[in-house]
């Protein structure tokens, strides 16, 4: 029995439109036009306890809408959704005590109060027994290295510090499911790594189910074995990262550093996509020519100083998937 089941979820928003400029504003007073936006257009998936899933898609694809429905703060027009056997929006209070949510662009901490007071307030709000609270809090403070921040008012924290505190705040009541909506947005490299490391520990060691929406493909590559891609309210792809790569394009890249800068590289099964001084980038399909054969051929014909093989960047794959839909 999966922990989260979503079936044929639909949600339409009405967006008031008016023409730009002063005349548009005046006309808008008399005549209102509304446009319907299908934020979710039949979304279905299921997750087992302990999974870590990346939920990706362009802006406006329906990611946040899905997270809001799953967390019980938005009622869909139709469809079924069960989280731990409950329908989130019907049983909101019971439902939200079992989940943790972090919206990367917003904070759940009390702006003017020291971090520790926000934590204490959350203990009271979630009715966490004192001893459980202290255990959870100390563990989170330790894992996220929050000890030096606890007495600082939230408004004085940097974004990275605030995000670490927000992560802790969402977990004080020990939820078994965590929704992360763009948790690394705007963070520097060090803070991103800290957040990723923490989420990984949480999932691997405590078995917390994590749904992660992000635009940062490094997040996905670092954390998620399964990726769901959504576009225009529909699921475009659902599977492992490798399957996603295979589905869109099977190409690989071979990068070669030649000894002789002026040498031309040619091969029947590969094409040159870029050349910069002694460095050449080749594109090939591993189904047509094995990587070993290609390397053997290239090294026998040219004097090669160094070479390496890589997958195309995940951004390109996703862009191709989005683009393929539009075309």
Partner 1 sequence: MTPYVAILSGRFRTLLQYRAAAFAGAGTQLFWGLIRMMIFDAFYRSSAAPQPISLSQTITYIWLGQAMLGILPWNVDPDVRGMIRTGSVAYELLRPLDLYALWYSRAVAQRTAPTLLRSIPIFIVAGTFFGLRAPASLFALAAWILTTAGAILLSAAISSLLTISLLWTVSGEGVTRLVPGLVIALSGMIVPIQLFPEWSQPLVRALPFAQVVDTPFRAYLGTLGRSETASAIVVQLAWTGVLVLFGRWLVARAARRLVVQGG
Residues of this chain that bind partner 1 (CB under 8 A)? 13, 59-60, 63-64, 68, 71-75, 92-94, 96-97, 99, 101, 103, 105-108, 110, 112-113, 117, 120-121, 124-127
The nearer residue to partner 1, 89 or 281, going by C-beta atoms, is 89
The nearer residue to partner 1, 166 or 251, going by C-beta atoms, is 166
d(C-alpha 156, C-alpha 153), whole Å: 6
Q: Closest approach of Cβ 149 to partner 1, in Å?
A: 19
Q: Closest approach of Cβ 115 to partner 1, in Å?
A: 13
Q: Closest approach of Cβ 180 to partner 1, in Å?
A: 13
The nearer residue to partner 1, 117 or 139, going by C-beta atoms, is 117
The nearer residue to partner 1, 26 or 94, going by C-beta atoms, is 94
Q: Closest approach of Cβ 72 to partner 1, in Å?
A: 7
CB-based contacts of 227, cutoff 8 Å, min separation 6: 53, 54, 55, 56, 220, 237, 238, 239, 240, 241, 244
The nearer residue to partner 1, 122 or 294, going by C-beta atoms, is 122
Q: Closest approach of Cβ 42 to partner 1, in Å?
A: 20
First to last CA, the chain: 38
Nearest 5 degrees, angle CA 174-CA 177-CA 180? 105
Sign of CA dihedral 187, 189, 195, 200: positive
d(C-alpha 132, C-alpha 30), whole Å: 58
The nearer residue to partner 1, 184 or 254, going by C-beta atoms, is 184
Q: Closest approach of Cβ 169 to partner 1, in Å?
A: 10
Give yes or no for a contact between 66 and 44, defined as CB atoms under 8 angstroms apart.
no
The nearer residue to partner 1, 117 or 320, going by C-beta atoms, is 117
Q: Closest approach of Cβ 91 to partner 1, in Å?
A: 11
CB-based contacts of 185, cutoff 8 Å, min separation 6: 104, 105, 214, 215, 216
Q: Closest approach of Cβ 256 to partner 1, in Å?
A: 42
CB burial of residue 233 (10 Å; 0-12, 13-18, 19+): buried
The nearer residue to partner 1, 232 or 251, going by C-beta atoms, is 232
* Residue whose C-alpha is closest to residue 267's, from 248, 252, 282, 278: 282
Element (H, E) at 110: none
d(C-alpha 306, C-alpha 257), whole Å: 5
Instruction: Quote the tokens at residue 84.
Output: 């731990």
């Amino acid at each position: 029995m999966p922990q989260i089941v979503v079936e044929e979820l639909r949600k339409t928003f009405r967006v008031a439109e008016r023409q730009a400029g002063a005349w548009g504003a005046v006309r808008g007073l008399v005549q209102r036009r509304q446009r319907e936006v299908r934020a979710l257009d039949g979304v279905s998936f299921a997750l087992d306890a302990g999974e870590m899933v990346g939920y990706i898609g362009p802006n406006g694809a329906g990611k946040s809408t899905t997270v809001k429905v799953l967390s019980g703060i938005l009622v869909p027009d139709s469809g079924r959704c069960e989280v731990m056997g409950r329908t989130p929006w019907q049983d909101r209070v019971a439902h939200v005590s079992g989940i943790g949510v972090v919206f990367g662009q917003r904070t759940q901490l009390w702006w003017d109060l020291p971090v520790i007071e926000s934590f204490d307030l959350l203990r009271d709000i979630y009715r966490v027994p004192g001893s459980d609270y202290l255990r959870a809090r100390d563990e989170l403070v330790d894992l996220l290295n929050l000890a030096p921040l606890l007495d600082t008012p939230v408004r004085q924290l940097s974004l990275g510090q605030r995000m670490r505190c927000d992560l802790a705040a969402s977990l004080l009541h020990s939820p078994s499911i965590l929704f992360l909506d763009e948790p690394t947005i705007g963070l520097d490299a060090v803070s991103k790594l800290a957040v990723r490391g923490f989420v990984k520990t949480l999932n691997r060691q405590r078995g917390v189910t994590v749904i992660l929406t992000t635009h940062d493909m490094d997040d996905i590559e670092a954390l998620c074995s399964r990726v769901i891609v959504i576009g225009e309210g529909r699921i475009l792809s659902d599977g492992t990262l490798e399957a996603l790569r295979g589905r869109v394009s099977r190409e690989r890249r071979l990068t070669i550093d030649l000894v002789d800068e002026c040498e031309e590289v040619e091969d029947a099964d590969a094409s040159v996509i870029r050349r910069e001084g002694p460095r050449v980038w080749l594109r090939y399909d591993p189904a047509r020519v094995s990587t070993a054969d290609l390397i053997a051929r290239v090294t026998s014909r040219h004097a090669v100083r160094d070479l390496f093989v890589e997958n195309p960047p995940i951004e390109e794959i996703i862009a191709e998937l989005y683009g393929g839909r539009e075309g």
